[in-house]
Amino acid sequence: MVAWIKADAKAILAIHEHVITNNGRLSVTHNDYNTWTLVIRNVKMEDRGVYMCQVNTDPMKMQTAFLEVVIPPDIVYEETSGDMMVPEGGSAKLVCKARGYPKPKIIWRREDGREIIARNGTHGKMKATVVEGEMLSLTKVTRSEMGAYMCIASNGVPPSVSKRMKLQVHCKFNGPLLFFRCYAMLFTHSKGET
């Protein structure tokens, strides 16, 4: 007799080709005299764990295997920033949330490949083409930081995903005041005059 057991849950899943558990995604196939296969369709995170095949012979034989379930990254749009407008000299906090297993790592890049400028009081100004973390914090924003920023989520399970966020900077007027005057003169011309 061959039994399939989910060892970490101590649950008998199947005996021979008869599935005992109430899970329509499980089946057992028997190809020849000594090959039994547990099939799990549409694998979910809850399927992760230790599985054991137990053959009730004398002596009893068993083999265990660990099923690791991985989930590709996905951007959580309802918790992720969209396009943003900030005044020149102001601050912007761009947030990017992602789910998946293992937990995705998030990096930020500028779409045009230019450097991201991080300013803080103690270290002054730092420039990098890639910044890690869920939040990209920009302070004392200048017009040169205007443009598209990309958050990229990856966890080693293809494909990586990204979201584009456009940062608009409302620029301050930086020069002397200019006045424009327009002078116009009106000349009348009658028909028949040369």
pLDDT at site 121: 60
CA distance 41 to 109: 38
- What CATH number belongs to 2-67? 2.60.40.10
pLDDT in tens, 164-192: 999 999 987 767 776 778 787 777 766 66
Nearest to 129 by CA among 155, 101, 153, 110: 110
Tell me which residues of the chain have a pLDDT lower than 50.
none
The pLDDT assigned to 192 comes to 65
pLDDT of 4 reads 92
The two tokens of residue 185 are: 């003169």
Q: DSSP for the chain?
A: -EEEEEGGGTEEEEETTEE-SS-TTEEEEEEETTEEEEEE-S--GGG-EEEEEEE-SSS-EEEEEEE---EEEEE-GGGS---EEEETT--EEEE--EEEESPPEEEEEETT-PPEEEEETTTEEEEES-EESSEEEE-S--GGG-EEEEEEEE-SSSPPEEEEEEEEEEPPP-S---------------TT--
What does the chain come to in residues? Answer: 194
> Are 2-67 and 73-170 in the same CATH fold?
yes
Contact 83, 166 (CB under 8 A): yes
What pLDDT does residue 187 have? Answer: 74
CATH class held by domain 73-170: mainly beta
What pLDDT was estimated at residue 169?
Answer: 94
Structure tokens belonging to residue 168: 């608009």
pLDDT of residue 138: 93
**Where do the domains of the chain lie?**
2-67, 73-170
Looking at residue 104, its pLDDT comes to: 98
